[in-house]
Amino acid sequence: MPSKKSARKQREKKVDDGEWRAFIVALDQFKKDGTGSHIEDQLLKEFPLFHGKAPGSHPYPQAFTEGATDKIHCYIERVDQDLVLLRRKLPSGRIISIDTCDFAMLNGGAGVAHLNMNNGDNRVENLKSVNEAEARKLLMDFEEGERESHRKAINLDQAYPNMSKEENQAHHALMEYIANECIINNLHRAENDFHQLNVPKLNAMFFRGMPHLALAEAYCFLDEDGGNEGMIRLYPRCGGNPKYSFGVNDSGEIEYGGA
């Protein structure tokens, strides 16, 4: 007859074996279709978990060393301490996002979507509470029409001598993006309203590895409803508050420069 100590070890081994088998089953399920695991920061830190490309339409292509099989796909990104986004990169290079409410939407809860994919447009009629499936469908179904197509921009100041080539390129991409967003979403100055921009998102998109250029605040507006001329003001963390005017020239390109 086995001792109490021996019996206890056998029970513990059975529990350990059972937990291991459950883990392997959950891991295989996650590899297959992205289900069976709680989505949180700790899991994202472990990515990639698998070799090769993700199966078609897998919800978490970042879990695979070679990424997505599908050219068009969604992915998760934490862009700030309290901001975890489900995102998709459009053919133009524009990135659209839905707030997961700090992973809640990815674990059976709800997130917040901006129906026109302008996360600066917080009108009640533009906001919708969505589950993960609804969020993914909104992102995948969104198309850039003629009005949504981004215009190229020209910097009338040409370049800023106190910035490196890479810094000038990042700054130009930021200005082009903001001016396009302002025009596309008709962010006009209604009742003297300035449209505050999502600074964590902008910093993540344009100033990774450039903390000295990161923004503390930024806003923009069009001078008139439906117009294509306006102003952008930036408040870098390092100080200063430069402002820029912008408009569309006869060739359909955006021109901007220090106001």
Shared-domain flag, residues 64 and 130: yes
- Rounded to 5 degrees, φ, ψ at 69 are -75, -40
pLDDT attached to residue 228? 87
- pTM (2 decimals)? 0.48
Assign 241 to helix, strand or coil.
coil
DSSP assignment string, 98-156: EE-TTTGGGGTS-EEEETTS-TT---GGGEEEE-HHHHHHHHHH----TTTPPPPEEET
Last residue of a domain, one of 121, 141, 161: 141
pLDDT attached to residue 1? 40
Cβ neighbourhood burial of 93 (10 Å; 0-12, 13-18, 19+):
exposed
Report the pLDDT averaged over residues 198-226: 91
Decide if 47 is inside a domain.
yes
Determine contact, residues 121/114, Cβ cutoff 8 Å. yes
Report the pLDDT averaged over residues 171-190: 89
Which two tokens mark 206?
A: 């344009």
Q: Which domain holds residue 250?
A: 153-258
pLDDT above 70 for 120: no
Lowest mean pLDDT among 33-47, 88-102, 162-176, 206-220: 33-47
pLDDT above 50 for 73: yes
Shared-domain flag, residues 165 and 236: yes
Shared-domain flag, residues 112 and 165: no
| Count of the separate structural domains present in the chain | 2
Decide if 33 is inside a domain.
no
Grade residue 104 by pLDDT with cuts at 50, 70 and 90.
very high
- Rounded to 5 degrees, φ, ψ at 50 are -130, 155
Residue tagged 């800023």 (tokens): 160
pLDDT attached to residue 215? 95
Last residue of a domain, one of 141, 164, 184: 141
Grade residue 147 by pLDDT with cuts at 50, 70 and 90.
very low
